[in-house]
Amino acid sequence: MPLEPGTRLNGGQALMQSLEMEGVEVIFGYPGGAILPVYDPLIDSQIRHVLVRHEQGAGHAAEGYAHATGKPGVCMVTSGPAATNVVTPLADAYLDSVPMVCITGQVAMAAIGTDAFQECDTTGITRSVTKHNMLVTDAADIPQAIKEAFHIATTGRPGPVLVDIPKNIVDANNPDAYFDWSYPETVDLPGYKPAPGPDPAAIAEAVAMMRAAERPVLYVGGGVLKARGAEALRRLAEIGNIPVVTTLMARGAFPDSHELCLGMPGMHGNYTAVTAMQQSDLLIAMGSRFDDRVTGKVGAFAPDAKIVHVDIDPAEHGKVRRPDVSVVGDCRLAMEAMLAELESAGGSSAFASHSAWRQQLSGWQEKYPLTYEQSAPGEYVKPQYVLERLRDLSPSDTIVASGVGQHQMWTSQYWQFDHPYTWINSGGLGTMGFSIPAAIGAKAGMPDRMVWAVDGDGCFQMTAQELITATVERIPIKVALLNNAYLGMVRQWQELFYEERYSEVYLSHDMPNYVQWAQSMGCEAFRVEEPEEVDATIAKANEINDRPVVVEFRCISSEKVYPMVPAGGSNDDILVDPSQR
Amino acid sequence: MSVTPLPVPDAEPARADRKQTIVVLVENRFGLLARVADLFARRGYNIVSLAVAPTDDEAFSRITIVVDVEPNLLEQVVQQLFKLIHVVEIAVLERDEAVEREVLLATVEAPRDIRGQIVELVDIFEGKIVAVTSGELTVSLAGTPTKIDDFEKLLGDYTIVELQRSGRIALPKIGRDVRRLRAE
């Protein structure tokens, strides 16, 4: 029940009240000296707190929660080293436009700048990795700061916002930390320009180009998911009979099972998605940002394509590739405006025929499907096989979180994403160790859904301790650990581009003993060494709902991710699987 | 909000003088100057001069930044600058669109035998002598950046003890339709 305005509160109580006013259900956090006064009123709050084992985990869990639920993730840690430990998740959330509010404790105002114990310049350090940050200097300003933080994090192009709270303003023993509670209804930010509506003239121009194009491709990025635009996208693709590629950040924004879906483009995208963009005469970039992993060599990217760029962030327009038509605005609103325009122009009949284009695409799909060779008898399992079986044996709305590297690419390639918000990964920053804490955050937000973390052995060793969090907090995630004994992606580059000189990439299959490690953290744990054991073990894992499960799949070390566009190369020089060359 | 024409990434960079004046209206919040400066620093662009003070409404400050950057890259910096939460308006001023002023203060050695020459120079430029001792003069001059440049050059014939320029401040010329980004 909302607190009566005018109630006398201290800053710590006001902070918890403010978070409740923002509808926060769960905080991922870790207490410490400067934030201690806030952890006291937390005991009396309705908000769930998940005690992570490392502050980085708190940040990634908040991200996972935000990815899965669409609501802002919240993490709370203390000052100094705790604040520096959340820098990585903040940078991760910034690059992937994840709405997140991070609350950090700070030393008392009087101690700021004195090199006090556990002091660091948190707002200075995090300035370039947050959408916004603020240091609150007065207890009475806390409600306004929290209101603004959530508003900024969730509107426009979403992103992380950090609120730094000095200890004295939340200290129950400080008479100056008390004030008469009230929660603001609005924010006063005259310089903030979050969500311009799409310009009707630009929409009309874009639609005219879409109708005239013969080889159009909808190049869909994470902005469509952020705008809750999956349904509008499906209608737009269908009405125009336009093929769709979904980038790494947009997997699930358009169903992989749809006949218009070409899958993922980019460095490890499939041949058809990559080549369709290269040969397109119109790319409709929808909430995507021409990332270098998608474009390859920019000068050689989609040379004949005109560009319609729809993005809510004006700074993305023309940053990499100059658009012919620029629509600044929310992707869903833009697509709905396009649909309205198209319907009045005659719907599907308004478009040029794409049948020759579609035929060409299906030809490529037939000739260059994703492929791999099965393990020879006695060999360890193929990671692609594990992912195919995991996909087929788990519910279609399973949420999958991955770490970074080969396993991430294989998951994106081989999973069938038919629902939005089922794929959670670190796309922009490429943060190893992301999957386990992100999966915990997702499961905390969506407890009724099955959540699988797909991890590599390198990633697992970075954040595995969060499985203790999962056990203790009863957040039963599942982990598919693809153990190939190597930092696989780095190994792949060394094999292909460094004359097989393997420098510091070997980790070993059996050091550590992953099963024992997982068991020691309260998880059920299995090891799979042969393809024949895969199905039964996944089935067993999927039956367990009362604690986390880790399945270690011993994988072949030499397996490589294909197709591949070598870094800096043109997308025309895509390397398909050796069997297809 | 207005969406401005976009840069041509492969446009020929103008080599001659790439100095650009950007006038940024911001909310008067602590740390904001650091945010603005950061945006230039992290891209390796050098700020030539920067002047900042509150406007007539003390809730806002105006920052005049002169930056040395290629025009096509400038567009990206301006767009990133505009994303800062407390940046309210940005005007990018071409040379003939701006009224620009700068102030120079200089202390020069002025022994009796050449003191007259220095006073004469200051008079020609309509500057002021603001402090005098038996051996030194402090002079001030306000004017257009070009005028200040000329004055500084001529002052270089004498022994300068200390010299400081304020950095440029600028406003759009009245009636000119300058390119502005503004939150609405």
> Considering only CB atoms, which residues of chain A are within 8 Å of chain B?
123-124, 127-128, 131-132, 135, 152, 189-193, 196, 199, 313-315, 317-323, 326, 328
Query: With helix as H, strand as E and coil as C, how does A527-564 read?
Result: EECCHHHHHHHHHHHHHCCCCCEEEEEEECCCCCCCCE
Q: Are B74 and B13 in contact (CB under 8 A)?
A: no
List beta partners, residue A206.
Answer: none
Contact between residue A403 and residue A433 where contact means Cβ atoms under 8 Å apart: yes
Do A154 and A70 form a contact (C-beta atoms < 8 A)? no
Q: How many residues does chain A have?
A: 581
Q: In 3-state terms, what secondary structure has residue B150?
A: helix
From A317, A315, A280, select the one nearest A301 (Cα to Cα). A280
**A205 labelled catalytic:** no
Residue A24, φ and ψ in degrees, nearest 5:
-65, 130
Q: What is the pLDDT of residue A281?
A: 98
Residues with Cβ < 8 Å from A46, sequence gap 6 or more?
A: A20
User: What DSSP state is assigned to residue A86?
Assistant: T
Retrieve residue A266's tokens. 């980019």
- Model confidence at B10: pLDDT above 50: no
> Does B16 contact A at CB distance below 8 Å?
no
**Structure tokens given for A440:** 């915990």
Catalytic residue, candidates A13, A106, A147, A167: A167
Residues of B in contact with A317 (CB under 8 A): 3, 6, 79
Q: Which of A22, A55, A63, A388 is catalytic?
A: A55
CA distance, residue B71 to nearest chain A CA (Å): 13
For chain B, positions 22-51, list CB contacts with chain A under 8 A: 26-27, 30-31, 34-35, 38, 42
Q: Is A489 a catalytic residue?
A: yes
What residues of chain A lie within 8 A of the CB of B90, using their CB? none
Q: How does residue B7 score in pLDDT terms, banded at 50, 70 and 90? A: very low
Q: Which of B143, B53, B158, B149 is nearest to B103 (CA)?
A: B143
Interface test with A, best of B27, B57, B83 (most A CBs within 10 A): B83
Tell me: pLDDT of A557 over 70: yes
What gap in Å lies between CA B63 and CA A463, rounded to an integer?
Answer: 44
Whether the per-residue pLDDT at B184 is higher than 90: the answer is no
What are the C-alpha distances in Å from A175 to residues A11, A143, A172, A497, B13?
Answer: 10, 18, 8, 65, 60
Q: Is the pLDDT of residue A194 over 70?
A: yes
Among partner residues B42, B84, B183, which is closest to A190 by beta-carbon distance? B183
Instruction: For chain A, say whether B74 makes contact (Cβ under 8 Å).
Output: no
- Band the pLDDT of A145: cuts 50, 70, 90: very high
What integer pLDDT is reported at residue A128 of this predicted model? 94
**CB-based burial label for A36 (10 Å; 0-12, 13-18, 19+):** middle
Which residues of chain A neighbour B9 with C-beta distances below 8 Å?
A: 318, 320-322
Query: Do B76 and A319 lie within an 8 Å CB cutoff?
Result: yes
Backbone φ and ψ of B54, nearest 5°: -60, 155
Beta-strand pair A282-286/A306-311: parallel
pLDDT, position A508? 96
**pLDDT of A308 over the 90 cut:** yes
**Which neighbouring-strand residues pair with B51?**
B64
Which of B1, B34, B79 shows the shortest C-beta gap to A196? B1
Task: Classify residue A97 as left (phi > 0), alpha (psi -120 to 50) or beta.
Answer: left
Mean pLDDT of chain A: 97
CB contact B86 to A (< 8 Å): yes
- DSSP state for residue A506 in the 8-state scheme: B
Contacts of B31 in chain A (CB under 8 A): 123, 127, 135
Cβ distance A128 to B84 less than 8 Å, yes or no, reads no
User: Cα(A411)–Cα(A452) distance, rounded to whole angstroms?
Assistant: 11
* Distance (Å, whole) CA A282 – CA A306: 5
Judged by DSSP in three states, B11 sits in coil
Task: Give A416: exposed, middle or buried? Use CB within 10 Å, 0-12, 13-18, 19+.
Answer: middle
Give the C-alpha separation, A69 to A458, whole Å.
28
pLDDT tens by residue, A252-274: 999 999 999 999 999 999 999 99
**B7 vs A322: CB contact, 8 Å cut-off?**
yes
- Which letter does DSSP use for residue A45 in this model? S
- Compute the Cα dihedral for B121, B124, B130, B134 and give only its sign: positive
Q: Residue by residue, what is the 3-state secondary structure of A273-298? A: HHHHHHHCCEEEEECCCCCHHHHCCH
Distance from CA of A173 to the nearest CA of B (A): 28
Which string of b and e fits A515-549 if b means at least 16 CB within 10 Å?
Answer: bebbeebebbbbbbbebebbeebbeebbeeeebbb
Question: What does the pLDDT average to over B121-127?
Answer: 97
Q: Which residue of A has its CA nearest to B40?
A: A128
Q: Do the Cβ atoms of B85 and A314 come within 8 Å? A: no
- What average pLDDT score do residues A541-568 get? 97
Rounded Cα–Cα distance for residues B92 and A465 (Å): 51
Predicted local confidence at residue B17, as pLDDT: 62
- Give the Cα separation of B139 and B151 in Å (integer): 11
Q: Tell me what the mean pLDDT of segment A468-475 comes to.
A: 98
Q: How confident is the model over B48-58, as a mean pLDDT?
A: 94
> pLDDT for B66-100, tens place per residue?
998 887 788 888 999 999 999 999 999 987 888 99
How many residues belong to chain B? 184
What's the rounded mean pLDDT across residues A553-576? Answer: 96
Neighbour tally for B13: CB within 10 Å: 11
Burial class (CB in 10 A: 0-12, 13-18, 19+), A356: exposed
> For chain B, what percent of residues have pLDDT higher than 70?
90
**ipTM of the complex, rounded to two decimals:** 0.89
User: Is a pLDDT exceeding 70 seen at residue A1?
Assistant: no
List of chain A residues whose C-beta atoms are within 8 Å of the C-beta of residue B88: 190-191
How near does any CA of chain A get to the CA of B111, in Å? 46
Report chain B residues whose CB lies below 8 A from the CB of A191: 26-27, 84-88, 183
The two tokens of residue A454 are 């797909």
pLDDT at A95 over 70: yes
Closest Cα in chain B, distance from residue A576 (Å): 31
| In contact, A50 and A440? CB cutoff 8 Å | yes
Distance CA A358, CA A435 (A): 36
**Catalytic residue chosen out of the listed positions A100, A209, A489, A564:** A489
Q: Tokens 């802002």 appear where?
A: A72
pLDDT higher than threshold 80 for residue B47: yes
Confidence label for B179 from pLDDT (cuts 50, 70 and 90): confident
Token code pair at residue A512: 């550590």
Tell me how far apart the alpha carbons of residues A288 and A284 are, in angstroms, rounded to a whole number: 9
Classify A190 in phi/psi space as left (phi over 0), alpha (psi -120 to 50) or beta: alpha
Whether B2 shows a pLDDT value over 80: the answer reads: no
Chain A residue whose CA is closest to B39: A128
Is 70 exceeded by the pLDDT of residue B12?
no
Residue A179 bears catalytic tag:
no
**Cβ–Cβ under 8 Å, residues A206 and A338:** yes
Instruction: Tell me which chain B residues have a C-beta less than 8 angstroms from the C-beta of A319.
Output: 76, 79
Q: Confidence band (pLDDT; 50, 70, 90) for B167?
A: very high
Q: Indicate the average pLDDT of chain B.
A: 88
| pLDDT exceeds cutoff 90 at B138 | yes
A354-389 pLDDT, tens digit each:
999 999 999 999 999 999 999 999 999 999 999 999
Q: How far apart are CA A38 and CA A77, in angstroms?
A: 10
What is the three-state SS of A112-159? CCCCCCCCCCHHHHHHHHCCEEEECCCHHHHHHHHHHHHHHHHCCCCC
pTM to 2 decimal places: 0.95
Q: What is the mean pLDDT of residues A350-357?
A: 93
Catalytic residue among A118, A365, A461, A465: A118
Query: Which residues in chain B have Cβ-Cβ distances shorter than 8 Å to A123?
Result: 31
Task: Please give the pLDDT value at position B69.
Answer: 85
In terms of C-beta density within 10 A (0-12 exposed, 13-18 middle, 19 or more buried), how is residue A277 classed?
buried
The mean pLDDT of B10-27, rounded to a whole number, is 70
Give the Cα separation of A245 and A493 in Å (integer): 26
Q: What is the mean pLDDT of residues A44-56?
A: 97
pLDDT for B15? 41
- Out of A128, A191, A315, name the one closest to residue B76 (CB): A315
Q: Is B126 on the interface with A (CB under 8 A)?
A: no
Interchain pair B85, A192: CB under 8 A: yes
- A199 and B3 within 8 Å at the Cβ level: the answer is yes
Alpha helices by DSSP H, listed for B48-137, are 71-83, 112-124
Residue A322 and residue B34: Cβ atoms within 8 Å?
Answer: no
CA dihedral A31, A32, A37, A41 (to 10 degrees): 10
For B109-130, the DSSP string reads: E--HHHHHHHHHHHHHTT-EEE
Strand, coil or helix: what is B131? strand
* Those residues with Cβ within 8 angstroms of residue B68's Cβ, 6 or more apart along the chain or in another chain: B18, B19, B20, B45, B46, B48
**B-chain residues near A129 (CB < 8 A):** none
Q: Is the pLDDT reported for residue B3 higher than 60? A: no
